[in-house]
Amino acid sequence: MDDISYDKLLRIKTTGRDDTNADRYHFPYEPTPYPVLERLANSGYLKKANTLIDYGCGKGRVDFFLSYQTRCRSIGIEYDRRIFETVKSNTLTAASSGRCSFFCENAEDFELPPEADRFYFFNPFSVELLGKVLKRVRESFYDVPRELYFFFYYPSNEYISFLLDFNDLELVDEINCGDLFEGENPREKIMIFQMK
């Protein structure tokens, strides 16, 4: 199924890239391709009992799709107020909107609910902001120990270096997505980390 067909099925509008408010800390909105989300949904890492936080959720594609496919709860965080208006509109029509909630705030300021145990990133912001977000997640983990998994789609070399050096994170798996697209792009993967 292509993007338009999936958007129709889910009763949302998430296509198109948006660079309007991108800067050196916040990267452009670009939706994760649906075939990549299918791989993640079928990986076994997300189930009905899980709560996913999608950092840099944009128009909500990851949240609506994964909640629809796996029945997990999802929380989308988006700093761009203009893009956030689209996710609010999508919430009114989305097939899985009852399992999704969204917040318009900076990722590093978002206070994690104790049930949050899965985290999704598609290069939403700089490594500097990523570090602040991961420290906040680690504090939550120390307060309420639980099994935490992190999904990093299409990670940059800068992200990979940072993640491999970050205390308490361990690389546990990788979902190869290279066969979904033309060319041999080594970034077409989801790296999965666990907090120890």
Query: Region 10-18: what's the mean pLDDT?
Result: 88
Asked whether the beta carbons of 193 and 152 are under 8 A apart, the reply is yes
Answer yes or no: is pLDDT of 25 > 90.
no
H helices, E strands: number in the chain: 6, 7
State how far Cα 193 lies from the chain centre: 13
Q: Quickly state the pLDDT bin for 158 (edges 50, 70, 90).
A: very high
**pLDDT at 22 (0 to 100):** 66
Residues 6 or more apart whose Cβ sits within 8 Å of residue 36: 153, 177, 180, 190
pLDDT tens for residues 94-141?
A: 999 999 999 999 999 999 999 999 999 998 899 999 999 999 999 999
Mean per-residue pLDDT for 80-84?
93
Position with higher pLDDT, 2 vs 164: 164
Q: Give me the pLDDT at residue 21, please.
A: 66
Supply the pLDDT for residue 26. 74
The pTM score is 0.95
In 10 A of CB 166, how many CB atoms?
17
Q: CA 189 → CA 36, 42, 78, 79, distances in Å?
A: 8, 14, 23, 25
pLDDT over 90 (residue 27): no
Q: What is the DSSP letter of 72?
A: -
